Amino acid sequence: MLEKILGLESDQKIDSLTIGWSHGAVVALPLIILAVIFCIYLYRSERQLPKSRRYIMMICQGLALLVLIIIFMGPFAKITKFNSYKRNMLVLIDTSSSMATKDQRNANSIEEAARALGEIKQSEPFDPGKANEIQTKIGNPSRIELAEATLENTNVISDLKEKFNVNIFTFDSQLKPIKQDIISAVAEELEETETPSLNLDLNAQGDSTEIGSAINEAVGKFAGREVAGVMVLSDFISVKGKDPVESARSLSTQGIPIHTVALGLPSPPDIHVRKIIGPDVVFKGDRVPLRVQIESNGYNERTVNVTLKIDGTEQPSQQVKLKGGVQFAELIFVPEQESGTVELEVSAAAFNDETTDKNNSSSHSVRILDEKIKVLYVEGKPRWEFRYLRWVLLRDPRLDVRFLMTDGDPALAGSSPRHIGALPQNKEDLFKYDLIILGDVPAGYFNTEQLELIDELVKERGGSLMMLAGPVAAPTSYKDTAIADILPIKIGAGSWNPVSNGTHPVVTSAGRLSQSTSLSLSDETTDRIWQKVNRMHRLPPVDGAKAGATVLLTHSGSPDGFDQYPLVAWQRYGTGKSLFVGTEDLWRMRLEVGDRYHARFWGQTIQFLTLSRLLGQNKQITIETDRASFSEGDTVQIYANVLTESFEPVTDIEEYTVLIEPKGSPDSSAEIQLSPVPGTDGLFSGAHVAGKDGAYVLRAGPSDESRANSPEFEVATINPEDRETGSRPDIAKEMAEISGGKELNQQAISGFKDDFNSEKPRDNEVQIIEELWDKEFLFILVLLFAGTEWFFRRRENLV
């Protein structure tokens, strides 16, 4: 009765109650005295009434006035009340598309699936002898079917419902709650049967798994309420959103454990064509090697057909024996069209028992050039390196080569179209060359005007200079010339330094990534190739590489005082490039294999130095992206190298604006603000989130457009859910351990409820102030007493 009078809910019980007043006794006492005096005075004069009647009317009027005084005094109740409640348990079910994967199980991996589907009771031991029979019976259920069957057959939801408020969610890229009426139905059915049915009817169609974000969002929905734990059923292929391990670490500080149920096989039978490694630009008729990275599981020693498609046209397939793990296959592509862009696709034939064939192919775009690279090779005496390099250059159909022999037969220029008699003296003739190879020629051979022309060719016209060191003059004689500014190394003083036999070039980390010095699919093979050059008796005096240079090869026997001798190094110089080769003995890599690798090094190096000029990329303002292909949602890193008209880095602007637009839609452009890169004058960087699939173009603003290149990049989304097929039980285990939860298999789930035997409803105690002056019962009393007094007054005709 008291709870109803005070307006409390049915599950809230009063523990203690204290009455208080807004006004004290100093106010109440005079009012009560006045009310008593008023009542006595009023009815003392009514002597014609019976004494008993006067007393009744006096008491009723006094009580009415007393209740009004009580209301005026502002009574309130200090109430301590409590209610019992259950803590919340959150259950999250992954519905991303990877959960639709049907793992191809065998006798060794069938137990967990069979227990989830109820073919083997949770308490029943697994009989390996029946594995094949069970396999035939259950087939290859999808991961989402196993998740639903796990909840259905283990009664884990109804078990948890006894102890907690259970809240079920599905998640992929978004978190979605399961309607509470389903959970309530389970609770009601539990009272009637021991095996309630969930009937969740789940579909795995989400485009990505965001486990960490889903957990954080689910817990956030219960802010201010106690969460006892989170159960996650997933394959744990988390590809976007917050790091799930970091989310687990965050919840551990809040005392919220994560209990994980990993579904799917960690290494299902699968072939994954990860990527095609090949040049972005080639020439018509090139014999272009494409290195295809293939990862396989479960198919060791089996042979698969790998096929190359050129603009959708299939080429003859090639058989590759799978070794398990990551391996490379090499396919040859010979471009036949004159120019333009072709799309290459490499695919591996799917096996019947393969988990998915959605990741069996990869694509790569290649641009075909119809120009030849114009090379001028200036050399002194015809040394060994020149003799072998000359034939490499002459046999390369991509090159248009001219030779200038400063110490050779002067009649060569008149008798051979491949030779010229002197370095061109005018810009028109010299600037047509894309690359000048400068051999062992004294600096004094050139006059000042010629050296300045070479400087202008590289710095302002996007040409390239390569110096091939020699003991007579290169690089020592160029120490105080314009050539020294162009080179990526600091020219030292003195004579060449002797080195021990057996020492050899060493590939740097940058060299392994370089188009120039990486000569094989395997780093080990590349190292062995360079170790063939092991009789370099002397090295030129070099005081290290310049600050902005990239060292591709060092030397295993560097002269004393040098930590990293720049045997092969390059740098950008203005709009062009320069490269230094500090030995004349690279021809020794021909030992036992002919010119295979010797020609590959020189061909790759020349292409690396010259392609940017042929593609029109050597501009006063150069815009670049960190790679050429992205998926939707990826971060596109954008760089702009901004030079003044004198090709010096700009220093007086605080940001640089570039425009991005879908290719062919200039009216749909948007601005991207690039910020200066600290420590590098003229270099600006910024980021853009890749949008919908398609080709995009980056441009400078209208005032700079003629002085800048316009690079393109492609957004071609590859859904990671399709690309990665193996589940990640390692992530599930780490999340459980970090948060203080449990990693649950199918047998452990059945006993999971025993972990909560001590869980009981919690008491929540609250102190509140409840105003009493406005309660209905006080006004009813006023009406009752005043009405009774009024009734008797009417009866005695006193009103």
What is 70-113 written as a DSSP string? HHHT-EEEEEEEEEEEPPEEEEEEE-BGGGG-B----TTS-HHH
What is the pLDDT, as a whole number, of residue 187? Answer: 46
Q: What are the φ and ψ backbone dihedral angles of 47, each rounded to 5 degrees? A: -75, -15
Q: Contact, 391 vs 414, CB < 8 A?
A: no
Q: How far is the C-alpha of 58 from the C-alpha of 457, rounded, in Å?
A: 121
According to DSSP, the β-strands at 373-379 and 435-438 are parallel
Residue range 387-395: mean pLDDT, rounded: 89
Mean pLDDT over the full length of the chain: 83
Q: How far is the C-alpha of 462 from the C-alpha of 574, rounded, in Å?
A: 8
More confident residue, 783 or 78: 783
pLDDT band at 306; cut points 50, 70, 90 = very high
Q: How far is the C-alpha of 414 from the C-alpha of 98, rounded, in Å?
A: 71
Residue range 568-578: mean pLDDT, rounded: 87
Question: How is residue 8 annotated by DSSP?
Answer: -
Residue range 619-641: mean pLDDT, rounded: 81
* 561 pLDDT above the threshold of 50: no
pLDDT in tens, 641-661: 887 776 677 888 889 999 999
What is the pLDDT, as a whole number, of residue 438? Answer: 95
The dihedral built from the CA positions of residue 623, 629, 633 and 634, taken in this order, carries a sign that is negative
Helix, coil or strand: residue 676: strand
What is the pLDDT, as a whole number, of residue 341? Answer: 80
Q: What are the φ and ψ backbone dihedral angles of 618, each rounded to 5 degrees? A: -85, 85
Lowest pLDDT segment from 165-179, 318-332, 565-579, 758-772: 758-772
Q: Contact, 580 vs 487, CB < 8 A?
A: yes
* 670 pLDDT above the threshold of 80: yes
Residue 678 neighbours by CB under 8 Å, 6+ apart: none
* 706 pLDDT above the threshold of 70: yes
Q: Contact, 491 vs 476, CB < 8 A?
A: yes
What is the pLDDT, as a whole number, of residue 468? Answer: 94
Q: How far is the C-alpha of 108 from the C-alpha of 102, rounded, in Å?
A: 16
Q: Contact, 606 vs 435, CB < 8 A?
A: yes
Residue range 373-402: mean pLDDT, rounded: 89
* 557 pLDDT above the threshold of 80: no
What is the pLDDT, as a whole number, of residue 239? Answer: 65
Lowest pLDDT segment from 182-191, 398-407, 603-612, 790-799: 182-191
Q: Contact, 240 vs 210, CB < 8 A?
A: yes
What is the pLDDT, as a whole number, of residue 568? Answer: 93
What is the pLDDT, as a whole number, of residue 1? Answer: 54
Question: How is residue 559 annotated by DSSP?
Answer: P
pLDDT in tens, 181-203: 444 444 444 444 454 455 677 88
- What does pTM read for this prediction? 0.55
Full strand arrangement of the beta sheet holding 75-85: 13-21, 75-85, 762-771
pLDDT in tens, 455-504: 999 887 888 999 999 988 899 999 989 999 999 999 988 888 888 877 88
Q: How far is the C-alpha of 577 from the C-alpha of 618, rounded, in Å?
A: 9
pLDDT band at 413; cut points 50, 70, 90 = low
Smallest Cα–Cα separation from 55: which of 784, 781, 788, 778? 788
Residue indicated by tokens 């009434």? 49
* 743 pLDDT above the threshold of 60: yes
**Tokens standing for 683?**
């270099």
Q: How far is the C-alpha of 64 from the C-alpha of 71, rounded, in Å?
A: 11
Q: How far is the C-alpha of 728 from the C-alpha of 732, rounded, in Å?
A: 7
Burial class (CB in 10 A: 0-12, 13-18, 19+), 640: buried
If you average pLDDT over each of 58-67, 252-261, 754-763, which comes out highest?
A: 252-261
What is the pLDDT, as a whole number, of residue 215? Answer: 93
Q: What are the φ and ψ backbone dihedral angles of 625, each rounded to 5 degrees? A: -115, 160
The dihedral built from the CA positions of residue 146, 151, 155 and 160, taken in this order, carries a sign that is positive
Q: How far is the C-alpha of 259 from the C-alpha of 737, rounded, in Å?
A: 9
Q: Contact, 375 vs 437, CB < 8 A?
A: yes
Q: How far is the C-alpha of 712 from the C-alpha of 629, rounded, in Å?
A: 9
Q: Contact, 566 vs 542, CB < 8 A?
A: yes
pLDDT in tens, 114-172: 888 888 887 788 888 888 888 888 888 989 999 998 888 888 888 888 889 999 999 98
**Strands (DSSP E) found in 626-716:** 629-630, 635-642, 656-662, 670-676, 683-689, 694-700, 712-715
Smallest Cα–Cα separation from 367: which of 464, 434, 278? 278
Q: How far is the C-alpha of 736 from the C-alpha of 258, rounded, in Å?
A: 5
Smallest Cα–Cα separation from 744: which of 143, 279, 310, 116? 116
Q: Which helix (H) or strand (E) is 555 found in, with range?
A: strand 550-555
Q: Which helix (H) or strand (E) is 697 found in, with range?
A: strand 694-700
pLDDT band at 454; cut points 50, 70, 90 = very high
Q: Which percentage of the chain shows pLDDT scores above 90?
A: 23
pLDDT in tens, 307-336: 999 888 888 889 999 988 888 888 888 887
Q: How far is the C-alpha of 178 from the C-alpha of 197, rounded, in Å?
A: 15
What is the pLDDT, as a whole number, of residue 15? Answer: 67
Q: How far is the C-alpha of 564 from the C-alpha of 14, rounded, in Å?
A: 82
Residue range 208-237: mean pLDDT, rounded: 91
What is the pLDDT, as a whole number, of residue 190? Answer: 44
pLDDT band at 221; cut points 50, 70, 90 = very high
What is the pLDDT, as a whole number, of residue 156? Answer: 87
